[in-house]
Amino acid sequence: MLSHVDNTAAVRAIVREAYVAGARRVSVHYADPHLRRAAVELGPDEMLGRSAPYLVDWYASWREEQPALISVHGDPEPELLADLDPERVARSEPVDLRTLTIGLVTERLVNWTIVAAPSAGWAQTVFGEPDVERLWDAVATAMRLDEPDPVGAWRDHCRTLRSRAAALNEHGFDTIRFRGPGTELTVGLLPGSLWVGAAATTRSGIEHVPNLPTEEVFTTPDWRRTSGVVRSTYPLAIGGTIVRDLEVRFEDGRAVGIEASSGVDVVRGQLQRDERAPFLGEIALVDGTSAVRKTGLVFSNTLYDENAACHIAYGSGLPFAVEGGGELGTDELVGAGINVSPVHTDFMVGSPEVDVDGLAADGTATPILRGDAWQL
Amino acid sequence: MLSHVDNTAAVRAIVREAYVAGARRVSVHYADPHLRRAAVELGPDEMLGRSAPYLVDWYASWREEQPALISVHGDPEPELLADLDPERVARSEPVDLRTLTIGLVTERLVNWTIVAAPSAGWAQTVFGEPDVERLWDAVATAMRLDEPDPVGAWRDHCRTLRSRAAALNEHGFDTIRFRGPGTELTVGLLPGSLWVGAAATTRSGIEHVPNLPTEEVFTTPDWRRTSGVVRSTYPLAIGGTIVRDLEVRFEDGRAVGIEASSGVDVVRGQLQRDERAPFLGEIALVDGTSAVRKTGLVFSNTLYDENAACHIAYGSGLPFAVEGGGELGTDELVGAGINVSPVHTDFMVGSPEVDVDGLAADGTATPILRGDAWQL
């Protein structure tokens, strides 16, 4: 397990359940973003972004060991690094560790999930006061814990997402178009792009829900075929900074113009991280029935906010979301239109005011979302 | 750095100072005793005491890398494991990791120190209420932080301890005798036993103070030559349990009778850990001028309490505290009278009512402590 150091209560509860479920060993690495802050502020330049070798070795060992991975997010201080040199912040990202986990995920070697645990700091960010109880209530809504049978509710919901994905796959759209205030964007899909959602299955056959909550159906687009402009509809918490009012212009797939009212340098830093970071790796559709949306809150936490609204991600694609993609080697993916990058950052572009259409190869448009309502 | 997961404030401050002092990388492992509790309660039997391989590898890498090691203690819940099966608690001790660190320390390969950070839970244990400010005040006294020049005060104090050690070495006592209520104990020294205190020096020449606070002068006795009975004068927090009113009887060096009003099974479990655990590895003298003693508190934390009173430790000896001991291989130590064990547990035996004498080979007694006052 990986967790922020402030989320001990949730971690301890999960560890106990893991043993009850038959785990032989539960190992937890508590990460502390203040240590990253110290390294950015005071550490030597050449060490930025170089994770401790013992952690790199540990992550690397998962390829062989194939453990179940649980990440407990819920950053109590999402703006912890916002006042630091953005260039050093960008370089301090643990890209070495992320590259290892992205490899495990794209090759479907491990069953994994990400959850978020309420903390005083996160509640402060959401409500302007550290009302943890209120945040737990919101999390209970978003996580369907307020249903009489939460597990049953999740199974039903996963069926809904799978039927949405099936409908999208049946249509076989060539392009997805977003139109709304400040947004006029087309995202070209691959002929083999597969819409997927809810549960995933490892190569060894273990079914798992990789994010909780999850409200999206998603696929990997052709990294060469995004163009237009898009205005983000939610703040975006990344790299210890909150990016607000993000606007991105794409040309021939590449993000070429980046503006924001705060945090723009962190996005620019990520996009400069490697040559493939500025291309899209994911497109995801979420409608207004989302349990996260029902809370009416902005969580400033991507796990939650990306499940309240349609979103796109620059950086790494998801090979399993492309027909035959899971069998391609890393060096074949880019040629097949599937992006490869150590970066993968989702940002929200959907809202009731943003229309989403599926376009056929001849340009015929089919409404997918209108006023947040699912149309297919 | 190693720290309890609740001690983030102290850890973060130390990490910043480490970078300011020129550290290239500061890695922190936050340990959470609740995970050990979960494993003892719910985990499989055969995994107890087997640390995660990535941690074992990390500890093992220090032999080559020789980093500076800082441990931040200050357990907020010293009785966390007290209600569990003592046999499983004893077997859940991370002996694999401790064996690696004991090796580094006895061979003087790394510079290291242990400090303790106040927390609400520790304050609750000390005062019966979570008064962290009051505990910080006590820690400031014990750590000489209330002196106008704390670093200068520590240098002076280290000189005092060194001169005490020199006086003891000059006397060349054969045996140390403790006499007080419930205590009549003789601890036989080795001809080469060296009294040391305060600062230590690594093989590579780095001087460091291995415990802060430190008020003791100590040596390694002959593991074969302890006999009599001893009554502990402080509670002893070990293995998630507080051992109270510990009484131990020694015959030919071996602890053969163990009684306590609480926690006795944890001590017995440790003594059964390996065949050499029941023999002494350390004897340490502390007088009433101790800054820890000045606080008048029982900290229920060995780092503090052992520096308020004379103490002895069963388990591993300290080869550097015996003439020529540092040059002996592990397999030669036992034959030379220096104990070797993965266990090393200090417990307090001194008080104003306990007289301490040094005995020459002919039995002549020289007072060392009377009413807690240093006599040499």
Confidence of residue A105 (pLDDT cuts 50, 70, 90): confident
Q: What is the mean pLDDT of residues B301-311?
A: 94
Q: Which helix (H) or strand (E) holds A124?
A: helix A120-127
What residues of A are in contact with residue B19 (Cβ under 8 Å)? 38-39, 41-43
State residue A103's pLDDT score: 87
Chain B residue nearest residue A58, CA to CA: B54
Which chain B residues touch A54 with a CB distance below 8 Å?
27, 54-55, 57-58, 61
Pairing of strands B365-370, B355-359: antiparallel
Rounded CA-CA distance B359/B36 in Å is 44
A2-374 CATH pick, 3.40.190.10, 1.10.443.10, 3.40.50.300, 3.40.1830.10: 3.40.1830.10
**Is-contact B181 B231, C-beta < 8 A?**
yes
- Which pLDDT score, from 0 to 100, does residue A199 have? 82
Q: Least CA distance to B11: which residue of chain A?
A: A35
Closest CA to A326 of A225, A191, A211, A202: A202
B375: number of CA atoms within 13 Å, CB side? 13
Per-residue confidence (pLDDT) for residue A309, from 0 to 100: 96
Q: Which pLDDT score is estimated for B87?
A: 86
Average pLDDT over residues B82-104: 90
Question: Which tens digit of pLDDT belongs to each residue from A5-55?
Answer: 999 999 999 999 999 999 999 999 999 999 999 999 999 999 999 999 999
> pLDDT per residue over B185-202, tens digit each?
999 999 999 999 888 899
Residue A218, sorted as left (phi over 0), alpha (psi -120 to 50) or beta, turns out to be: beta
Please indicate whether, in this complex, the C-beta atoms of A32 and B30 are within 8 angstroms of each other.
yes
Query: Cα separation of B111 and B297, whole Å?
Result: 29
Percent of chain B clearing pLDDT 70 (strictly above): 100
CA–CA gap between residue A143 and residue A211 (Å, rounded): 11
Instruction: Please tell me if residue B53 touches chain A, with a CB cutoff of 8 Å.
Output: yes
Q: What is the pLDDT of residue A75?
A: 81
- Residue A120 region, left (φ>0) first, then alpha (ψ -120 to 50), else beta? alpha
CB atoms A25 and B61 under 8 Å: no
Residue A74 binned pLDDT confidence (cut-offs 50, 70, 90): confident
**Residue of B37, B54, B69 best to disrupt the A interface, most CBs of A under 10 A:** B54
Question: Could you tell me whether strands B254-259 and B207-208 are parallel, antiparallel, or unpaired per DSSP bridges?
Answer: unpaired
CA distances from A349 to A229, A235, A253, A357, B94 (A): 11, 10, 17, 14, 49
The rounded distance, in Å, linking the Cα atoms of B152 and B207 is 16
CB contact under 8 A, B26 and A5: no
* B-proximal residues of A, 11-30, CB under 8 Å: 11-12, 15-16, 19-20, 23-28, 30
Query: Is the pLDDT score of B342 beyond 90?
Result: no
Q: Residue A326 — pLDDT band, cuts 50, 70, 90? A: confident
At A86, the pLDDT band (50, 70, 90 cuts) reads confident
* A37 phi, psi to nearest 5 deg: -60, -45
CA atoms within 13 A on the CB side of A18: 20
Instruction: Give the mean pLDDT of A224-251.
Output: 95
Q: Is the per-residue pLDDT at B239 higher than 90?
A: no
The answer to whether the Cβ–Cβ distance between A47 and B24 falls below 8 Å is yes
**What average pLDDT does the segment A260-281 reach?**
93
Query: Beta strand pairing status for A183-189 and A196-197?
Result: unpaired
Cβ of B32 under 8 Å from any chain A Cβ? yes
**ipTM passes above 0.95:** no
Contacts of A292-296 spanning 24+ positions with Cβ under 8 A: A292/A142, A292/A213, A292/A215, A293/A215, A293/A372, A294/A141, A294/A142, A295/A138, A295/A141, A295/A142
- How close B73 comes to chain A (CA, Å)? 16
Residue of chain A whose Cα is closest to the Cα of B5: A5
Q: Is the pLDDT of residue B330 over 90?
A: no
Beta carbons of A15 and B38 less than 8 angstroms apart? yes
Neighbours of A5 (CB within 10 A): 23
Quick: pLDDT tens for B112-130.
999 999 999 999 999 999 9
- pLDDT band at residue A188 under the 50/70/90 scheme: very high
CA A40 to chain centroid, in Å, comes to: 24
Q: What is the DSSP letter of A327?
A: G
pLDDT of amino acid A182: 97
Domain boundaries, chain B: 2-374
For A97, residues 6+ apart whose C-beta sits below 8 A from its C-beta are A51, A55, A56, A59
User: B15 vs chain A: nearest CA distance in angstroms?
Assistant: 7
Structural contact between residues B244 and B235, judged by C-beta atoms closer than 8 angstroms: yes
Q: What is the pLDDT of residue A38?
A: 98
Contacts made by residues B47-52, CB under 8 angstroms, sequence distance 24+: B47/A24, B47/A25, B48/B88, B48/B91, B48/B92, B49/B91, B49/B92, B49/B93, B49/B94, B49/B95, B49/B96, B50/A25, B50/B96, B51/B94, B51/B96, B51/B97, B52/A25, B52/A27
Q: Decide if pLDDT at A167 tops 90.
A: yes
Tokens of A348: 């929200």
Q: Does A8 touch chain B (CB under 8 A)?
A: yes
H-helix or E-strand spanning residue A14: helix A8-20
- Confidence check: pLDDT of A273 > 90: no
Select from A15, A37, A50 the residue whose CB has the most chain B CBs within 10 Å, as the one to mutate to test that interface: A15
CA-based nearest distance A110→chain B, Å: 18
pLDDT band per the 50, 70, 90 thresholds, residue B14: very high
Q: What is the mean pLDDT of residues B167-195?
A: 97
Count Cβ–Cβ pairs < 8 Å, chain A vs chain B: 96
Partner residue facing B5 (CB), from A15, A30, A41: A30
State yes or no: pLDDT of A261 exceeds 90.
yes
Give one word for B374, left, alpha or beta, with left for phi > 0 and alpha for psi -120 to 50.
beta
Residue of B nearest to A38 (CA): B16
Q: What is the 3-state secondary structure (H, E, C) of A66-113?
A: CCCEEEEECCCCCCCCCCCCHHHHHHCCCHHHHHHHHHHHHCCCCCEE
Average pLDDT (B222-230) is 98
Q: Cβ neighbours of residue A209 under 8 Å, at least 6 residues apart?
A: A113, A154, A158, A198, A199, A200
Do the beta carbons of residue A125 and residue A134 sit within 8 Å? no
Q: Which residues in chain A are closer than 8 Å to B27, comparing Cβ atoms?
A: 52, 54-55
Task: Tell me what pLDDT residue A305 has.
Answer: 94
Q: What is the pLDDT of residue B75?
A: 81
B47 touches chain A (CB under 8 A): yes
What number is the average pLDDT over the span A60-77?
93
State percent of chain A over pLDDT 70: 100
Query: Are B30 and A25 within 8 A, CB to CB?
Result: no
**pLDDT mean across residues, chain A:** 94
Give pLDDT, residue A329: 82
pLDDT at residue A78, rounded to an integer: 85
B61 at A interface, C-beta within 8 A:
yes
Interface test with A, best of B2, B7, B16 (most A CBs within 10 A): B16
Of A288-297, B93-102, B137-146, which range is least confident? Answer: B93-102
